[in-house]
Amino acid sequence: MRILANENFPAVAVEDLRHRGHDVVWVRTEAPGSSDREVIGRAASDGRLLVTFDKDFGELVFRAGLPSPAGVVLFRIRAVSPAHVAQIAAAVLESRTNWSGHFSVIEENRVRMTPLPG
């Protein structure tokens, strides 16, 4: 899976996903300080699924109409530890293949998927 991990995504989770064979670019090391608009633009241009803890991306795709064809996954879980986030992220992301074209919210006990506009 091609993933763009937002700056706020834990390093342990990024490394775990890479170890599992995913192609992960991490904003914190590749483009630190990028605006949310720049991040979503990069995800769109690179065809990467954006994973984040920042709910502002919902505003950008639904209200501002910025494209993100590969999808956005917003994690709304308790970040008990970076290792916990890594475990949840890997399990959830690998549990399905239909992230593309959706804004998905990952909560403790469910996944909500909403089709992206356009």
Please report the sign of the dihedral spanned by the C-alpha atoms of residue 32, residue 35, residue 39, residue 44: negative
Question: Over 7-18, what HEC string results?
Answer: CCCCHHHHHHHH
Confidence class of residue 108 from pLDDT cuts 50, 70 and 90?
Answer: confident
* Number of domains forming the structure of the chain: 1
Q: What is the CATH number of the domain that holds 39?
A: 3.40.50
The pLDDT of 7-23, averaged and rounded, is 97
Which token pair is 108?
Answer: 């403790």
pLDDT value at 118 more than 90: no
Write out the residue range of the structural domain in which residue 70 sits.
2-115
* Mean per-residue pLDDT of the chain: 95
